[in-house]
Amino acid sequence: MPKILSISIIDFHLHFPVSHDVYLDGWEKRFVDRFGKAKLQKIYHNQQTLSERWRDAYLIPCTEEDLPDIETQAKRWVDETNKYRIDKAVFLTGGGNDQLAKIVKLAPDVFVGFAHHDPFSPGAAEELERAIVKLGLRGYKILAPTVEKRLDDPELDPLWKIAEKYQLPVLIHFGILGGGGGIGNAINMSPLVIHDIAKGFPDISFIIPHFGCGYTRELLQLAWACPNIYIDTTGTNDWIRWMPYPVTIRDLFRVFTETVGPQRIIFGTDSNHFPRGFTYPVFQTQWQACRDIGLDDSSMCAIFHDNAARLLKNVRA
The pairs formed by 56-63 with CB atoms below 8 angstroms and a separation of 24 or more are 57/238, 58/236, 58/238, 58/281, 60/276, 60/279, 61/275, 61/276, 63/17, 63/273, 63/274
Kindly report, residue by residue over 114-156, the tens digit of the pLDDT: 999 999 999 999 999 999 999 999 999 999 999 999 999 999 9
Phi/psi of residue 136, nearest 5 degrees: 80, 15
- pLDDT tens readout for residues 38-91: 998 888 888 777 777 777 777 777 777 788 999 999 999 999 999 999 999 999
C-beta atoms surrounding 86 within 10 Å: 24
Q: Is pLDDT at 2 greater than 50 in this prediction?
A: no
Domain ranges of the chain: 9-313
177 or 51: which carries more pLDDT confidence?
A: 177
**CATH 3.20.20.140, applies to 9-313:** yes
pLDDT in tens, 264-275: 999 999 999 998
The confidence band for 5, taking pLDDT boundaries of 50, 70 and 90, is low
Whether residue 1 is predicted with pLDDT greater than 50 in this model: the reply is no
pLDDT, average across residues 15-27? 84
116 vs 177: which has the higher pLDDT: 116
| Interstrand relation of 229-232 and 205-208 (parallel, antiparallel or unpaired) | parallel
